[in-house]
Structure 1
Amino acid sequence: MTSQPPLAKVEDLPDGPAGPTPAGGQGSDGLQAGLKNRHLSMIAIGGVIGAGLFVGSGAGIAAAGPAILVSYALVGLIVVLVMRMLGEMAAARPSSGSFSAYADMALGRWAGFSIGWLYWFFWVVVLAVEATAGAVILNGWVPAVPQWGWALIVMVVLTGTNLASVGSYGEFEFWFAGIKVVAIAAFVLIGVLAVFGVLPGSDTPGTGFANLTAHGGFLPNGAGSILTGVLMVVFSFMGSEIVTLAAGESADPQRAVRKATNSVIWRIAVFYLGSIFVVVALLPWDSASIVDEGSYVAALNSIGIPHAGQIMNVIVLTAVLSCLNSGLYTASRMAFSLGRRGDAPASFARVSARGVPRAAILGSVVFGFAAVWFNYQWPETVFQFLLNSSGAVALFVWLVICFSQLRLRGVISRETPEQLVVRMWLFPYLTWATVAGIVFVIGYMLFDEAGRTQMALSLLVAVLVVAVSLVRHRGAARG
């Protein structure tokens, strides 16, 4: 029987100081503190909004009907609780490795290694997905440039942005996220006015809440459809944790993490629940247009907004570029943190004179370029395998955050209680309840025909990574 790994002290965690760093200066890890408060604020607000919200919500509505609101609320609740736990640890010890560094300390080197590489794998696959999605839209506008050419262009441009400085990443993300936020806020406002029949110039009769129950009831496909909806929407929430990685490159990490953690509730309520409510209130849930045109385009068309399709294409492209930009940043910072802990090539831990981990960025983007090529060359085989085997990583990350927080709370309380500026509510009861909820979703995916392949392949890859980690660290211990 193996013994529980001893807990390190909080100050032994890698990746820099917990306190403020002078703006533009470098932390002890060498990364530049180049992200301004407005960058962090917009990353926190926009980080939870992925292209999946715009593109994938129609399938969820078709599967669960108006009850998809309950699905989004359940997943949103899990995300709020997980972010609270992560915020507690990140405010006490900002780190470019975030939950991977905390797992390293709380659960053992094998855990930090495994979840770090799985998270990196998830984001480099996302690079290929988003680059392809963006290329499809751009090719529709300018067909003279082939689709693969557009994918190459957006990857090269955003790689250059990330290589220039962390401030360049922050500036791009500020505007990308800003467009998403303004677009969804406007959609919710216009949609709510139309729902109640008070939108000036609209011919839409105000249906109020009628569409929520008029077409087979609120649960037209039964209570089980809520869980089906959960499986379909859970992965569109991935990205909420990015701000805790980015906080390590800001002048005041504690303040950034505290603000992001405190605002996650209203962000999910407005951007997810608010916008999906508008769609299912404006249109019958079984309307073919929700799937054929996309839920947001269908809603805008029902109001009478001209050129709704092109408007949404611009917004989706912005969301795609934002996700691509953040995905490259996130993957590179995770690779950098793994390099600093000796779990990745040492070159990944080196930074340029501008405080940028160039080798980590290039290493991540090379795999991203390879995944783009797989997507064009073998979309139904190799790329589908990559997609499925990384699909459940979000759930694994959330589970690791829960277990890390369970162990680290006591350590931080004993050693540096003044750094507990963000506290998990009703600890440890809500933490254990969150663990139970995530484990239930994982189990349900294994028994659900649609989710079984994705979960099985993700578990297989996770087991392989954990096995490599255990063998690697056991060999290092013997040496």
Structure 2
Amino acid sequence: MTTTPVLTTTEPPGQLHGTLRSRHVTMLAMGGVIGSGLFVGSGAGVAQAGPGIVLSFAAAGVLTMLVMRMMAEMAAAFPSSGSFSAHAERAFGPWAGFTIGWLYWTTLVVVLAVESTAAAVIVHGWLPVIPQWLLMFLFMAVFTAVNLTAVGNFGEFEFWFALIKVAAIVGFLVLGALAILGVLPGGDAGALTGDLLPHGWDGVFAGFVLAVPAFGGLEVVTIAAAESDDPVRAAARAVRSAVWRISVFYIGSMIVVVSLLPWTDSRLGTSPFVAVLDEIGVPAAGQIMNVVVVIALLSALNANTYAAARMAFSLAQRRQAPKALTRISPTGVPYPAVLASTSFGFVGVVLNLLWPHTIFLYLLNAVGTVLLVVWVLVACSQLRLRRDLPAATPVRMWGHPYLSWITLAVIGALLVRMFIDHDTRIQLISSAVLVSLVLFAALIRSRRA
């Protein structure tokens, strides 16, 4: 007589409290993904691809969906706050879990410092009497405190915080649709009467390279699923919901932008969203979007703090980080991991004072392509673990193994393109140095174990 394998977690039971609900997990993903990269940075993609940026974002959305499907398959079978780091360890050994876990943690803590700095810059423009460094310190202190509360309270806070920027995007799409239909002024701009691919398919691919990082942050779904009330099924539900919603928001926003404004419009370089709102006559469009961007940055800061702390906690549980990081508060929060993860944000206050115009550029270059390295290891782990997945796993990767291999090939093409392009080569090289250092540390640790 045979029995169906039971899905189990890779972490000891009874530590993290499973109090997040599915809506919390989904909105946590929204909070981690939707940030200034969409509201401000997407203008660079429009400059590269013209109206073809819609195809670039659509392709990035498909690639993200495939990677997240692989993550969801493994997370549903082996729930863990370490998510893809724990899965890589299961697939290839401790060195792989160590490498991907520490790379991802490093990326998140750098992003925390950058997000708090960017939010402080905007708020300082409204309140010049408050020093920028103090605003940055206050943001880090507030969101450290939020992440030290019971995870259920944290989830509720992030749900409403992320909902604000989701509502802002929906409002933008509604206004844009009304303008395209001629109900509001600006719909007769004739932006799509010229060449739809002014730089050809090469421009679309260049836009694709810029669009992919905008989807980074969705990984928090599979991390948070381990703390949900139904970890086995939460990952599948949250991935399906978050990926298609974010794809609609991103692709829809780009359709509005290139429909209402010529892609050569100089205003797109500052903020495509502000340019569109100005075009259709929304009063104080710039200040409205600044408020939205600040909310987006702080929501992402909150979500990324959560993800960094859980990754540190999982690494410590697997003896790949200091044991002290495994401590849990009575409310189920890994408080030393939270404090360790936010500490770099506070260090960033000092770095911002010493080298305000250079330090964060160097740091961002160092972690710029780590997301793609994470995705490569996710795909490799899924290919390796597929044969070990329990039959009862509720999520399965589509077209296995062909789509998994195609995903790896596309990511490889992205890396090659980044190396060829002078503007992104330094980022790729800087990230390669960081990856090499972490991998070297992992191999040294493996030999000593």
Which TM bucket (shorter chain)? Answer: over 0.9
Paired position in structure 1 for 2:192: 212
Which of 125, 131, 151 aligns to 2:136? It is 151
How far off is 1:229 after superposition? 1.3
Of 322-331 and 163-172, more deviation after overlay is shown by: 163-172
Secondary structure in 1 aligned to 2:200? coil
Deviations 1:290-340 (A, max 9, x none): 113x10001011111111111111111110011100111111100000000
Structure 2 CA distance for aligned equivalents of residues 432 and 213 of structure 1: 38
Unaligned runs of 5+ in 1: 1-8, 17-27
Paired position in structure 2 for 1:398: 375
Secondary structure in 1 aligned to 2:40? helix
Structure 2 CA distance for aligned equivalents of residues 423 and 223 of structure 1: 32
Secondary structure in 1 aligned to 2:41? helix
Residue 67 (str. 1) matches residue 52 (str. 2): yes
User: What does 1:385-464 correspond to in 2, within 5 Å?
Assistant: 385-412=362-389, 416-418=390-392, 420-464=393-437
Paired position in structure 2 for 1:288: 266
The letter of the residue matching 2:185 is D
Checking the alignment, whether the CA contact within 8 Å between 1:50 and 1:237 is kept in structure 2 is: no
Paired position in structure 2 for 1:23: none
The letter of the residue matching 1:359 is P
Structure 2 CA distance for aligned equivalents of residues 258 and 11 of structure 1: 14
Checking the alignment, whether the CA contact within 8 Å between 2:26 and 2:241 is kept in structure 1 is: no
User: What does 1:91-106 correspond to in 2, within 5 Å?
Assistant: 91-106=76-91
Checking the alignment, whether the CA contact within 8 Å between 2:221 and 2:239 is kept in structure 1 is: no
How far off is 1:35 after superposition? 1.4
Change (3 A) 1:382 1:302: closer
Structure 1 CA distance for aligned equivalents of residues 266 and 402 of structure 2: 43
Residue 125 (str. 1) matches residue 110 (str. 2): yes
The letter of the residue matching 1:246 is A
Which of 327, 346, 357 aligns to 2:304? It is 327
Structure 1 CA distance for aligned equivalents of residues 243 and 149 of structure 2: 34
The letter of the residue matching 2:348 is A
Paired position in structure 2 for 1:3: none
Structure 1 CA distance for aligned equivalents of residues 207 and 186 of structure 2: 28
Residue 278 (str. 1) matches residue 256 (str. 2): yes
The letter of the residue matching 1:463 is S
Structure 2 CA distance for aligned equivalents of residues 460 and 322 of structure 1: 30
How far off is 1:203 after superposition? 2.9
Change (3 A) 1:377 1:233: farther
Deviations 1:76-122 (A, max 9, x none): 11100000000111111211000000001001111100000000000
Paired position in structure 2 for 1:183: 168
Secondary structure in 1 aligned to 2:33? coil
Checking the alignment, whether the CA contact within 8 Å between 1:335 and 1:348 is kept in structure 2 is: yes
Paired position in structure 2 for 1:194: 179
Structure 1 CA distance for aligned equivalents of residues 110 and 32 of structure 2: 18
Structure 1 CA distance for aligned equivalents of residues 147 and 30 of structure 2: 20
Secondary structure in 2 aligned to 1:134? helix
Paired position in structure 2 for 1:203: 185
Change (3 A) 1:337 1:33: same
Deviations 1:251-288 (A, max 9, x none): 11223212122224521332100011101101011011
CA RMSD across the alignment = 1.7
What TM-score does the superposition give when structure 2 sets the normalisation length?
Answer: 0.95
Structure 1 CA distance for aligned equivalents of residues 337 and 14 of structure 2: 14
The letter of the residue matching 2:404 is T
Structure 2 CA distance for aligned equivalents of residues 94 and 304 of structure 1: 49
Deviations 1:101-159 (A, max 9, x none): 00010011111000000000000000111001110121112111111111011110000
Change (3 A) 1:278 1:470: same
Structure 2 CA distance for aligned equivalents of residues 29 and 55 of structure 1: 42
Residue 244 (str. 1) matches residue 222 (str. 2): yes
Deviations 1:377-402 (A, max 9, x none): 22455433221111111101111110
Which of 336, 339, 350 aligns to 2:327? It is 350
How far off is 1:223 after superposition? 2.3
Secondary structure in 2 aligned to 1:457? helix
